[in-house]
Structure 1
Amino acid sequence: MKKMIVLLPFIALLAACSGSTQTKDWYKQHDAERKTRVAECRNDAKERLTADCENALAAQAEVSVFGK
């Protein structure tokens, strides 16, 4: 039982980090995914602070200003 208590925080940490983070360039190349992710990021302030949202929002800004 002690082993389970010791491992539980590590399992929780791994579960929290399991989301994938795409690069800004990846989001620039995948319009549908970028638009979906940007909408999700703008809808959730906590989510907006993640690296994935920063990449999606930066890609959206670049595409809006400079095009693809």
Structure 2
Amino acid sequence: MKKAALMLVSISILAACGKDADHPARTKDWYVQHDKERLARVSECKNDAAQKVTPDCQNALDADAQVYVFGK
């Protein structure tokens, strides 16, 4: 039981360290409306696998795909 609790605390701390302070999380809709920022963020996300899995990158990539397929 103690090992499980210690593991949970360790994972929580590591997850908090993974937050990207340089890029506040934006919504997919925000990225759809802001082309310049979306394109810059998509470029950063595609260049760094560690960032690519963050919620902000997923929103930027999803918005980029939406704009590409459906337009604005």
How many pairs were matched up?
57
Distance 1:61 1:44 in 2: 18
Coordinate RMSD, CA, aligned: 2.1
Task: Mark the runs of 5 or more structure 2 residues left unpaired by the alignment.
Answer: 1-12
Distance 2:48 2:57 in 1: 10
Distance 1:36 1:59 in 2: 13
Matched residue, 1:65: 69
Give per-residue Cα distances to partners, 1:35-60, cap 9 Å, x unaligned: 00000000000000000000000000
Return the match for 2:24 from 11, 20, 30: 20
- The two structures have a TM-score, normalised by structure 1, of 0.74
Matched residue, 2:35: 31
Task: Mark the runs of 5 or more structure 1 residues left unpaired by the alignment.
Answer: 1-9
Percent identity of equivalent pairs:
54
The residue identity in structure 2 corresponding to 1:55 is: N
Q: Tell me: CA distance 1:23–1:45, structure 2 relative to 1, closer, same or farther (3 Å).
A: same
Matched, 1:54 2:61: no
State the shift of 1:17 in Å.
Answer: 5.8
- The two structures have a TM-score, normalised by structure 2, of 0.70
